[in-house]
Structure formats: structure tokens, C-alpha cells
Amino acid sequence: MTDFTGKHGLIVGVANKRSISWAIARAVAGRGARLALTYQGERLEENVRELAQELTDPLILPCDVTSDEQVAEVYRAIGREFGGLDFLLHGVAFAPREELEGPFVQTTREGFRIALDVSAYSLVSLTRGAVPLMAARGGGSVLTLTYLGSERVFPNYNVMGVAKAALEAAMRYLASDLGPQNIRVNAISAGPIKTLAASGISGFTSILGIYRDHAPLRRTVDAEEVAAAAAFLLSGDASAVTGDVFYVDGGFHAMGM
């Protein structure tokens, strides 16, 4: 089993116990990693602090990814506490609810801006902040979470599909920039999982049914299955993997019909 003993990681995107980021936090902490977890705003602080009670000596920090100052403060705190960083998990996405229903052609300029800023640009700014801390460790691993709606049309996924396409492209450009410093950057494209973010997508439950009927494994996936793949990609076991979208979706992406 992948070992994270002595490794330090930053996990961004825990909202509650259903969050994919939380499953990933548990998987890597269970293998020995010490973690910094962020929460977005006071509304989620209590949730994250309560969940983090099962971790050993976690660092809990506020971070709205649209604030450059908060991102900078996260890395100052990690530098002080950890002295470096081995991995970063980016599990953040948001679009205004009204953009995730109805025709994509109605997407507003502001909805587009917010979705791309929170869901895609945040990978760039968070990765940039991590670079000096990862360089201090001789390298690192960055992982983000995406969805097949970046490549194919899913009803109501709308601007989030466009944001995920930008996220995947950003992942590849970052992998190219940072490879010479031994920093790897990858994405997991996960099958649909019932989480807070997913509940914002109109008709989400019907997507689950389509995976049950058409994915090779005849089911969707759970957060623990995504977390197992994430632990691999975040670890030294994946030392030659970068710039990749890794599918954990029961094989759905392989199907034509």
C-alpha cells in the first residue's frame, strides 16, 4: 500500500463528510500523511473542524480560492508549520445554481466568469503558491478533480463543462511548466457521486441511472474508489505520471452508446 509517512499535504475542497476531498484526506492520512485542510467561510468551519478530529495534528485554515490574500496566507502558514509541501489536492468547483439548468446558450457573462474563476483559475493560483514549498522537498504532486462533461455534453452541466475543459487544459500547461522541478500535475475524472456540489446540478439523479445502465461496470463509483486512485497519483508510486486525466468512472468514458 502507498506509504505517506513523513509527507505533508494540502487538501482544498472539504465541505462535509460526503466531499470527495474528504475521502481523499482520509485515504492519505490513513497511510501516514499530515494534512492541512481548508474551509470556505465560517459556514463550513465547524464541519471541517469536526471531521478533522479523526486526523493527527491537522492544520485547519480558511481559504476562499477567489482571494489571493487568503491563498497566500495558507501557504505562509504551511511554510511555518510544515516547512515544505509534498502534495496538493484541488477539489473545488462552483457555478451559480441558475447556470446549471436550462439551455447553455443562456449562460451569463458573470456566471461564466465565476465558474471559470473558482473551478479552473484556482488550480493555477493554488499550484503557483505550492511551488516553492514543493521545490523545498525536491518535488511534489498536484491533483485536481474533473468530470467527463468537459469533453461531452451532459444536460444542465453547462458552464461547469466549459470550466472543467479549462481546468484540464490548465492541468496540462502546469504539468509542462513544473515537470523540470519534479512537480507532477494530474486530474482524476470521476463518475457521478452524490455530494453537495452535485446536488446543485439539475437532474443529477438521472445521470446516475445512465451510468447504472451503460457503464461497463454497470454502476457509478464511490468517493473511496476515487480516493484510492488519488492516493496513487499523489504518491511516489506515480513518479512518471504527469499531465494526465485518469478516469475513475466505471469505464463510462469508453462507451460510444
Minimum CB separation of residue 7 from ligand NAP in Å reads 22
Active site residue: 75, 157, 211, 247, which one?
A: 157
Pairing of strands 87-90, 245-248: unpaired
Cβ atoms of 19 and 13 closer than 8 Å:
yes
**Phi and psi (nearest 5°) for 77?**
-65, -40
Cβ atoms of 83 and 136 closer than 8 Å:
yes
Active site residue: 147, 173, 211, 247, which one?
A: 147
Q: Rank residues 23 and 133 by Cβ distance to ligand NAP and give the closer one.
A: 23
Q: Rank residues 64 and 101 by Cβ distance to ligand NAP and give the closer one.
A: 64
**Phi and psi (nearest 5°) for 256?**
-90, -35
Site size for ligand NAP (CB under 6 A):
28
Cβ atoms of 192 and 198 closer than 8 Å:
yes
Q: Which stretch binds ligand NAP (CB under 6 A): 15-23, 71-79, 104-112, 130-138?
A: 15-23
Name the one residue in this structure whose C-alpha cell is 452535485: 198
Q: Which of 25, 27, 85, 93 binds ligand NAP (CB under 6 A)?
A: 93
- What order do you get walking across the sheet with 8-12 strand by strand? 59-62, 34-39, 8-12, 87-90, 140-146, 183-190, 245-248
Binding characters for ligand NAP, 41-80, by CB under 6 A (x = yes) = ---x------------------xxxx--------------
Q: Which residues contact 228 (CB under 8 A, 6 or more apart)?
A: 27
Minimum CB separation of residue 140 from ligand NAP in Å reads 20
Q: Rank residues 3 and 224 by Cβ distance to ligand NAP and give the closer one.
A: 224
Cβ atoms of 242 and 230 closer than 8 Å:
no
User: Has 39 been annotated as catalytic?
Assistant: no
Q: Which of 13, 140, 161, 250 binds ligand NAP (CB under 6 A)?
A: 13
Q: Rank residues 66 and 202 by Cβ distance to ligand NAP and give the closer one.
A: 66
Q: Hey, which residues between 158 and 197 contact ligand NAP (CB under 6 A)?
A: 190, 192-193, 195-197
- Would you say the C-alpha torsion 199, 203, 206, 207 has a positive or negative sign? negative
Catalytic sites, residue numbers: 147, 157
Q: Return residues touching ligand NAP (CB under 6 A).
A: 13-15, 18-21, 40, 44, 63-66, 91-94, 118, 145-147, 190, 192-193, 195-198
